[in-house]
């Protein structure tokens, strides 16, 4: 087994399109990393460069200590699971799983043993004689996994392997792939555009946008400390509310203005982000996660920070409800934010934010308990958890104050 | 009110039925016109020569006889023609399917300089009528020293533009990820072609097989320009020589049509055997 290293890897296509720019990644041995980002961000290209299905324009990829730039895919000791499974339709499940072994001239008896063992891991022992056409989507997905597992490769590569499954099966297979990966401890690179898969499966997650690595960190760190507006908007569902605001000096402290509301920032926020003080007087982007908004009487310890607004819509999800609230504040609609949102498939939210592009009214989403009594078109007051505010530079989108 | 509706309904139904009868009658007439020559050929092969001359369109032989078949077998080189046709057709069909699919795969998947030009040329060849090429072909076959040999009859037929075209298009419809998966599994290019792509292309291969078999079995012009010995006569050529009447007396309809009838049997069998397979495409490779 081995780690994977990207060293200033760049991919430029024949037509001059830069799919990946100066990518540096260090994947540890046995680690499960997820490449995530909207379509066209270069994640699949990066994966295919590891596989050897795309040539590397510049830089170096190493698997273990071996530079693989010029090795053909079959010599890289990797296995790949494709989005459409790419099974061989004329072969049985056993033959599909065993094809790579046949190619590597593994003795028949051993091949049979390994196919059996693999079938046990993926739970298809009874289906070894079937052809892919006779299997359900989930079973085909397992065969694709089995084909990778049986190789006992140094690296698993997975290209959106769950995107063709229905929602329920996807949750189940998510857990299954994680389990198998832990059991085999094979270094894994997993590509997805689904931030939930990224959050739940990866030991570390690399967020990409337009061929550039945005942030490479543990999922919780990405969520808690996004490096920029794009990562902030992309990770988390519903997405982070991003509003335009400004800072004002008040004695030793800072006051944050968002629309008509003003919050005195607690000392621990300032000490965690000392550079915030230099932003006084400039417009900035203030990020508030939906769970940082709550009913006033629930948020004790209260800094007294409040947002006033009017309920526009309520989505009751059973365990909680998502409340869309129109407030007097300017939404931040720069590309970083919109791109992050668009790929979540939350077109409705985008539209709601986008309605008021002239910009004095924004819609924020609050995650409230199911018991909260909220009705559309009624005024509402939301308590803001100031310890969980995020601050970004409006122009560059970079997180402020770190 | 309701009675008028009912009357309207029945008249509408009647009109629809009349239309249907008319349509089917028309189709039936067409079908009969198409199949009639074949029926006449089969029937005539069982007629005596005077009967065939007197009643060429009669649908019942009077009296029925198999003498035409006896004559064909004993009085002509029929067995030699069959042998030659079988040799040439099988060689051409198998090699053509193989070579067309190789060329089609190369054009569909390999990146090389001049690929587009090569494909354009092949398509252009399809537009040239075969007759135009007969004399140049003859000259080249002579030049190569394979005139009047099996080589001369077989080699020029081994690849055809339409077959390459069909195969290329089919290969392009196979998801590339299946081949990439095989590459990662460690398969060589030829192995991918042989073990993955060809089996997936079975519907196209069967189609091409039938087309090639039928085309080379029924080929005449090429055999006329590539050989002259009687010992190299194929069925088409032999029957054509019967038909041109050089063998003497009478119109010899029963003899000629007996030969034609026998000639159609292999192609007919092929169609019956494969007709269900043609439809049976592969599935399950990928999830769309």
The mean pLDDT value for A158-170 works out to: 90
Question: What pLDDT does residue A186 have?
Answer: 94
In degrees and rounded to multiples of 5, residue A78 shows phi and psi of: -125, 165
SS3 A159: strand
Q: Quote the CA–CA distance of A100 and B168 in Å, as a whole number.
A: 26
pLDDT digits (tens, 9 = 90+) for A13-32: 989 999 999 999 999 999 99
Question: What pLDDT does residue B250 have?
Answer: 66
- Tell if the CB–CB gap between A86 and B200 is shorter than 8 Å: no
SS3 A64: coil
Q: What is the DSSP letter of A128?
A: T
- Tell if the CB–CB gap between A90 and B177 is shorter than 8 Å: no
User: Where does chain B have alpha helices with state H?
Assistant: 2-44, 49-54, 67-75, 78-109, 115-127, 134-144, 150-154, 161-173, 176-184, 189-191, 198-200, 202-217, 221-226, 235-243, 253-279
A50-to-A30, A45, A72, A215, B183 alpha-carbon distances in Å: 16, 9, 11, 20, 13
A350 falls in which pLDDT band (50, 70, 90)?
Answer: very low
One DSSP character per residue, A316-347 reads E-SSEEEEEEEEESPBP--HHHHHHHHTTT-H
- Tell if the CB–CB gap between A75 and B186 is shorter than 8 Å: yes
- Tell if the CB–CB gap between B185 and A74 is shorter than 8 Å: yes
Q: In chain B, which residues have their Cβ closer than 8 Å to the Cβ of A52?
A: 183-184
Interacting residues of A290 by C-beta distance below 8 A, sequence separation 6+? A236, A238, A240, A241, A322, A364, A365, A366, A367
A365 falls in which pLDDT band (50, 70, 90)?
Answer: very high
One DSSP character per residue, A212-246 reads EEEEEE-HHHHHHS-SBHHHHHHSSSSPPEEEEEE
Q: In chain B, which residues have their Cβ closer than 8 Å to the Cβ of A151?
A: 185
Sheet containing A253-258, strands listed edge to edge, beginning at the edge strand earlier in sequence = A261-264, A253-258, A241-250, A283-288, A389-393
The mean pLDDT value for A313-339 works out to: 87
A–B CB contacts, 8 A cutoff, strictly below:
91
Minimal CA–CA distance to A374: which of A339, A323, A327? A323
202-261 of B, contacting A, C-beta below 8 A: 202
**Would the pLDDT of B281 be above 60?**
no
To the nearest 10°, report the CA torsion of B204, B205, B211, B213.
-170
Q: Quote the CA–CA distance of A332 and A288 in Å, as a whole number.
A: 12
In degrees and rounded to multiples of 5, residue B67 shows phi and psi of: -65, -30
The mean pLDDT value for B127-155 works out to: 92
Question: What pLDDT does residue A352 have?
Answer: 47
Minimal CA–CA distance to A315: which of A362, A363, A356, A374? A374
Question: What pLDDT does residue A345 have?
Answer: 47
The mean pLDDT value for A161-183 works out to: 90
pLDDT digits (tens, 9 = 90+) for A241-281: 999 999 998 888 889 999 888 888 888 888 888 888 888 88
A110-to-A102, A141, A354 alpha-carbon distances in Å: 11, 24, 61
Q: What is the 3-state secondary structure (H, E, C) of B188-200?
A: CHHHHHHHHHHHH
Q: Which residues pair with A155 in a beta bridge?
A: A78, A187
Q: What is the DSSP letter of A196?
A: H
Q: Quote the CA–CA distance of A51 and A156 in Å, as a whole number.
A: 9
Q: Quote the CA–CA distance of A339 and A233 in Å, as a whole number.
A: 8
Question: What pLDDT does residue A269 have?
Answer: 85
Q: What is the mean pLDDT of chain B?
A: 87
Q: Quote the CA–CA distance of A201 and A195 in Å, as a whole number.
A: 10
Question: What pLDDT does residue B58 have?
Answer: 85
Q: How far apart are the first and last CA of chain B?
A: 54
Task: Please identify which residue in the block is written with the tokens 């009705």.
Answer: A375
Interacting residues of B37 by C-beta distance below 8 A, sequence separation 6+? none
| Burial grade of B112 (CB within 10 A; 0-12, 13-18, 19 or more) | exposed
A359 falls in which pLDDT band (50, 70, 90)?
Answer: low
Rounded percentage of chain A residues whose pLDDT exceeds 90: 64
pLDDT digits (tens, 9 = 90+) for A38-94: 988 999 999 999 999 999 999 999 999 999 999 999 999 999 999 999 999 999 999
Enter the tokens of residue A170: 């996807």
Q: What burial letters (b/e) apply to A264-301, b meaning 16+ CB within 10 Å?
A: bbbeebeeebeebeebeeeebbbbbbbebbbbeeebee
Search chain B and give the residue with CA nearest A155.
B184
Interacting residues of B266 by C-beta distance below 8 A, sequence separation 6+? B213, B217
Enter the tokens of residue A254: 């800072």
Minimal CA–CA distance to A140: which of B169, B178, B160? B178
- Tell if the CB–CB gap between A84 and B191 is shorter than 8 Å: no
Pairing of strands A18-27, A187-192: unpaired
Pairing of strands A78-81, A241-250: unpaired
**Contact by Cβ (8 Å): A69, A61:** yes
SS3 B73: helix
Rounded percentage of chain A residues whose pLDDT exceeds 70: 93
In degrees and rounded to multiples of 5, residue B167 shows phi and psi of: -65, -40
Q: In chain A, which residues have their Cβ closer than 8 Å to the Cβ of B184?
A: 51-53, 73-74, 76, 78-80, 100
Q: Is B180 on the interface with A (CB under 8 A)?
A: yes
Search chain B and give the residue with CA nearest A147.
B185
**Contact by Cβ (8 Å): A38, A31:** no
Q: In chain A, which residues have their Cβ closer than 8 Å to the Cβ of B288?
A: 84
Q: Is B277 on the interface with A (CB under 8 A)?
A: no
Q: What is the DSSP letter of A151?
A: T
In degrees and rounded to multiples of 5, residue A63 shows phi and psi of: -115, 115
The mean pLDDT value for B256-274 works out to: 86
Q: Quote the CA–CA distance of A397 and A335 in Å, as a whole number.
A: 9
Q: Is B285 on the interface with A (CB under 8 A)?
A: yes
B138 falls in which pLDDT band (50, 70, 90)?
Answer: very high
Q: In chain B, which residues have their Cβ closer than 8 Å to the Cβ of A89?
A: 200, 282-285
Question: What pLDDT does residue B11 have?
Answer: 85
* Torsional class of B234: left (φ above 0), alpha (ψ -120 to 50), beta (otherwise): beta
The mean pLDDT value for A134-156 works out to: 92
In degrees and rounded to multiples of 5, residue A295 shows phi and psi of: -70, 140
Question: What pLDDT does residue A344 have?
Answer: 45
Q: Quote the CA–CA distance of A118 and A124 in Å, as a whole number.
A: 9
B284 falls in which pLDDT band (50, 70, 90)?
Answer: low
Question: What pLDDT does residue A7 have?
Answer: 95
Q: How far is CA A376 from the centre of its chain?
A: 32
What does pTM read for this prediction?
Answer: 0.82
- Tell if the CB–CB gap between B183 and A103 is shorter than 8 Å: no
Q: Is A99 on the interface with B (CB under 8 A)?
A: yes
Pairing of strands A32-36, A204-209: parallel
Enter the tokens of residue B140: 């080249």
The mean pLDDT value for A296-316 works out to: 79
Q: Quote the CA–CA distance of A290 and A313 in Å, as a whole number.
A: 14
- Tell if the CB–CB gap between B282 and A89 is shorter than 8 Å: yes
Interacting residues of A222 by C-beta distance below 8 A, sequence separation 6+? A199, A205, A207, A215, A231, A235
Question: What pLDDT does residue A167 have?
Answer: 87
Enter the tokens of residue A100: 């790579």
Q: Is A131 on the interface with B (CB under 8 A)?
A: yes
Question: What pLDDT does residue B97 have?
Answer: 95
Q: Quote the CA–CA distance of A306 and A308 in Å, as a whole number.
A: 6
- Tell if the CB–CB gap between A137 and B175 is shorter than 8 Å: no
The mean pLDDT value for B72-79 works out to: 82
* Torsional class of A101: left (φ above 0), alpha (ψ -120 to 50), beta (otherwise): alpha
Search chain B and give the residue with CA nearest A89.
B285
């Amino acid at each position: 087994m081995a780690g994977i290293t990207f060293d200033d890897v760049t991919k430029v296509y024949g037509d001059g399109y830069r799919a990946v720019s100066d990518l540096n990644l260090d994947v540890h041995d046995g680690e499960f990393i997820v490449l995530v980002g909207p379509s066209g961000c270069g994640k699949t290209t990066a994966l295919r460069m590891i596989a050897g299905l795309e040539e590397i324009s510049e830089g170096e990829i190493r698997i273990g200590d071996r530079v693989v730039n010029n090795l053909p895919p079959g010599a890289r000791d990797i296995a790949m699971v494709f989005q459409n499974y790419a099974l061989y339709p004329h072969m049985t499940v056993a033959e599909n799983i065993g094809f790579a072994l046949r190619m590597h001239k593994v003795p028949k008896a051993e091949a049979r043993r390994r196919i059996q063992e693999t079938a046990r891991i993926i739970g298809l022992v009874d289906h070894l004689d079937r052809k892919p056409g006779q299997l359900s989507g989930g079973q085909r997905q397992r065969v694709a996994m089995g084909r990778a597992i049986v190789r006992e490769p140094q690296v698993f590569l997975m290209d959106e392997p769950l995107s063709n499954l229905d929602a329920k099966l996807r949750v189940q297979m998510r857990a299954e792939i994680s389990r198998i990966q832990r059991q085999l401890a094979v270094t894994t690179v997993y590509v997805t555009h689904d931030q939930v898969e990224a959050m739940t499966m990866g030991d570390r997650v690399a967020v990409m946008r337009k061929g550039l690595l945005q942030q490479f960190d543990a999922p919780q760190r990405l969520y808690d400390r996004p490096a920029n507006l794009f990562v902030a908007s992309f990770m988390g569902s519903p997405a982070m509310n991003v509003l335009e605001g400004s800072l004002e000096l008040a004695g030793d402290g800072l006051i944050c203005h968002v629309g008509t509301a003003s919050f005195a920032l607690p000392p621990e926020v300032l000490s965690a982000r000392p550079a915030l003080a230099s932003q006084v007087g400039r417009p900035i982007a203030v990020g508030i996660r939906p769970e940082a908004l709550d009913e006033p009487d629930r948020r004790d310890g209260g800094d007294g920070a409040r947002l006033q607004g009017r309920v526009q819509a309520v989505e009751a999800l059973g365990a909680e409800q998502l409340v869309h609230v129109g407030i007097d504040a300017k939404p931040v609609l720069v590309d970083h934010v919109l791109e992050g949102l668009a790929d979540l498939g939350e077109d409705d939210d985008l539209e709601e934010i986008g309605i008021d592009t002239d910009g004095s009214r924004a819609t924020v989403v609050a995650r409230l308990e199911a018991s909260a009594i909220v009705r559309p078109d009624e005024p509402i007051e939301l308590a803001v958890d100031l310890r969980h505010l995020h601050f970004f530079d409006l122009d560059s989108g970079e997180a402020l104050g770190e | 009110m309701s009675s008028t509706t009912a009357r309207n309904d029945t008249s509408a139904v009647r009109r629809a039925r009349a239309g249907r009868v008319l349509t089917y009658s028309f189709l039936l007439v067409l079908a009969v016109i198409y199949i009639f020559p074949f029926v006449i050929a089969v029937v005539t092969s069982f007629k005596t020569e005077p009967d065939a001359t007197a009643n060429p369109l009669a649908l019942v032989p009077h009296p029925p006889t198999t003498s035409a078949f006896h004559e064909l077998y004993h009085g002509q080189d029929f067995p030699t023609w069959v042998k030659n046709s079988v040799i040439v057709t099988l060689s051409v069909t198998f090699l053509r399917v193989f070579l067309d699919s190789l060329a089609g795969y190369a054009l569909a998947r390999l990146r090389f300089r001049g690929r587009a030009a090569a494909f354009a040329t092949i398509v252009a060849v399809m537009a040239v009528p075969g007759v135009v090429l007969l004399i140049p072909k003859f000259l080249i076959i002579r030049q190569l020293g394979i005139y009047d040999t099996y080589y001369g009859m077989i080699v020029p037929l081994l690849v055809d533009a339409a077959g390459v075209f069909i195969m290329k298009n089919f290969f392009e419809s196979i998801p590339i990820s299946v081949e990439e998966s095989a590459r990662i599994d460690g398969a060589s290019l030829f192995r991918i072609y042989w073990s993955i792509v060809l089996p997936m292309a079975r519907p196209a291969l069967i189609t091409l097989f039938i087309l090639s078999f039928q085309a080379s079995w029924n080929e005449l012009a090429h055999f006329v320009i590539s050989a002259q010995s009687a010992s190299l006569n194929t069925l088409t050529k032999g029957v054509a020589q019967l038909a041109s009447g050089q063998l003497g007396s009478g119109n010899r309809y029963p003899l000629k049509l007996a030969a034609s009838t026998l000639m159609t049997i292999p192609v007919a069998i092929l169609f019956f055997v494969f007709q269900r397979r043609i439809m049976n495409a592969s599935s399950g490779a990928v999830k769309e």
